[in-house]
Amino acid sequence: MTSAVIAKPEAPAPRKASRESRREQLIEATIDTIAACGLSRTTLTEVASAAGLSHGLVNFHFRSKDGLLSETLLYLSEEYRRNWTGALAAAGPSPAERLEALIRADYAPAISTPERLKAWCAFWGEAQSRPVYQETCGANDAAYVETLQAICAALIAETGAAHGPARVARILRVTVEGTWLDLITMSEPYSRDEALATAFVCAAAFFPTRFDASGRIEKLPARGARPQR
């Protein structure tokens, strides 16, 4: 009787996972450091201290401050992309359901923490002087804008709303970004729920039969009925 040969697990897998987790740990520490200190005062030493790791380990993974900041922006950009595409994948098929999903996604607790919003705003402030930051997010931003415009175009066709889809989408987008700024710059900011309601009121201004301050109107008004304000 021959004995069975038991395959040994491959050793490199845990090491790879450990390396990836260390990178993520350092990037999360970078987000917190940017939120506390701003981009200019963020240093590898500060990040290492926030992560509870050595300065040498930061150098090993990212080589330089510029490399670390670029990777952090890419991490935030990919996180944001996964968030809104995941929300759309789980949404219903109607344009109103899809727009509601996109708006709610922008206020998801995981991506709209004060630390993440401050980090985003710090990168926005440097985008003009550092083209690499624009390049890092360009494709993701374009995909989001194109998707939002397509949804707005479908809603305009469905409701007969005025204005072009590009303009409506732009107003919705800057409203969301404006509330993000309010949440981190006001001395007494309103709540995330109020920010979400503000974005829905913006949607209701263009599509009053589909949205109100609480989100999508579940039951559409009868034909000829006036929408409730």
Q: Give per-residue pLDDT as tens, 74-84.
A: 999 999 999 99
Contacts for 101-108: CB closer than 8 Å, 24+ residues apart? 102/147, 102/148, 102/151, 103/172, 103/176, 103/196, 103/199, 103/200, 103/203, 103/215, 104/196, 104/215, 106/176, 106/180, 106/199, 107/192, 107/195, 107/196, 107/199, 108/83
- Are 97 and 91 in contact by the 8 Å Cβ rule? The answer is yes
CB of 155 within 8 A of CB of 96?
yes
What pLDDT is stored for residue 182 in this prediction? Answer: 96
Q: For the chain, which domains are there?
A: 17-63 (1.10.10.60), 76-216 (1.10.357.10)
Q: Does the pLDDT value for residue 95 go beyond 90?
A: yes
For residue 109, how far is the Cα from the chain centroid?
Answer: 10
pLDDT beyond 90 at 47: yes
pLDDT in the model for residue 3: 41
Q: What percent of the chain has pLDDT over 70?
A: 82
d(CA 123, CA 163): 31
209 is written with which tokens?
């039969």
What is the arithmetic mean of pLDDT over 99-111? 96
What helix, strand, coil percent values describe the chain, rounded to 5? 70, 0, 30
pLDDT at 14: 46
Grade residue 63 by pLDDT with cuts at 50, 70 and 90. Answer: confident
Q: What is the pTM of this model?
A: 0.83
Total length of the chain: 229
In terms of Cα–Cα distance, which of 99, 141, 149 is closest to 120? 141
Average pLDDT, the chain: 86
Q: 60 — phi, psi (to 5°)?
A: -60, -40
Mean local confidence (pLDDT), 164-169: 97
Q: Is the pLDDT assigned to residue 228 strictly greater than 80?
A: no
User: Quick count: other Cβ atoms within 10 Å of Cβ 78?
Assistant: 13
Higher pLDDT, 1 or 66: 66
Contact (Cβ atoms closer than 8 angstroms) between residue 129 and residue 177: no
Which band of pLDDT confidence, cut at 50, 70 and 90, is reported for residue 60? confident
The pLDDT value recorded for residue 212 is 97
User: pLDDT for 12-23, tens place per residue?
Assistant: 444 454 878 888
